[in-house]
Amino acid sequence: MIRNLESLLAKITTTPALDNEFYQEWMSRPFSIEELQVFARNYGAFVKSFPDALAVLIGATKDLEAKTEYVKTLYSEMGYGNPAKVHSALLFSFLGELARKMGHESKLDPEILVETTELLPTTSELLEGEKALYGDEEMSFGAQLALEWQAYTMLRKLYDGARNYMQLWSEPDQFHEACEYFYAHIGAAEKDHKDESLKAVERYAVDEHSTGKIIEGYDRHLDLISNFWQGLHSRIADLSVKSTAAA
C-alpha cells in the first residue's frame, strides 16, 4: 500500500503545485511593492492559518501515535513555544524588513495588508478547503502528506526568489539574518515534517480502502495549492499589465 504513495511522492515536484508560472515569475525578477503586497497578503494568510488547520487535524486524528507526530509539527510551526519564532512571525519579519529596504515602510505589515489588499478567492478556497480536509480523518493523512512533501521545494523556490532582493541590504550577512523564515524550513524543520507526515500515514494505510482515501486527500490538497499559486500569478499578471499600460 505504501508503494502507491511513494510513487506519488516521487513525482510531486512535477505537479502544478510546484511547477507553475508563479514560481517562474517569482524567481526570475524582483516584484514591485504592489506585487509584493498581493504575495504577502495571500501567502501570509496561508502561513498564518496553517497552525489552526493543524489543530483541526490533531483533533480529528484518533490514532495516538499519528496524533503525536502531528503535535510535533504544530510545536515546530509555533516556534517551539517562542512567539518570536512562530513561522508566520518570521515571515512577516522578513517582509517588513524588505519593505523598509525598498522605501515602503509598513506596507507589508500584516495589519496594513488586511486593510489595503484583498484576499483572493483561490486563497480563501485553500484555507477553507485545507481545514475541511483536515477535519476528515480518512483524507486528512493524505492532505498533510501532500502539504509537507511539497513544502521543502516550495520554501526553496521562495528563498531563491527572495535572493533577488539581496542587493538592497548593504551587508550580505544582514540579508541572511533577515531570511530566518526560509532557513528554518530549508534546514531541519521541513525534513522532520516530511518524516512525521509519512509516519502518520504508515499507521493508517492498512488496506486498499484506507490507501485510496489517503490518495484522494493528497490529490485534493495539491489541487488547492496549485489553484492558490495560479490565482496569485493571475492577480500579479493583471497588475503588471496595468503598470505597463500606465507607463
Domain with 99, as residue range(s), is 2-246
Supply 195's cell numbers: 518524516
CA distances from 133 to 6, 31, 57, 145, 241 (A): 21, 33, 8, 12, 36
pTM of this prediction? 0.92
- Count: domains in the chain: 1
In angstroms, rounded to a whole number, what is the distance separating the alpha carbons of residues 96 and 24? Answer: 23
- pLDDT score at 247: 53
Give pLDDT < 50 ranges for the chain.
Answer: none
Closest CA to 149 of 60, 16, 18, 2: 18
Q: Cα torsion at 172, 21, 121, 85 (round to 10°)?
A: -20
Q: Are 186 and 156 in contact (CB under 8 A)?
A: yes
Domain of 82, CATH number, reads: 1.20.910.10
User: In this structure, are residues 120 and 45 in contact, taking their beta carbons and an 8 Å threshold?
Assistant: no
Which amino acid, 142? Answer: G
pLDDT, position 246: 62
Q: Which residues contact 163 (CB under 8 A, 6 or more apart)?
A: none
The reported pLDDT for the residue numbered 195 is 67
Q: Using an 8 Å Cβ cutoff, are 2 and 141 in contact?
A: no
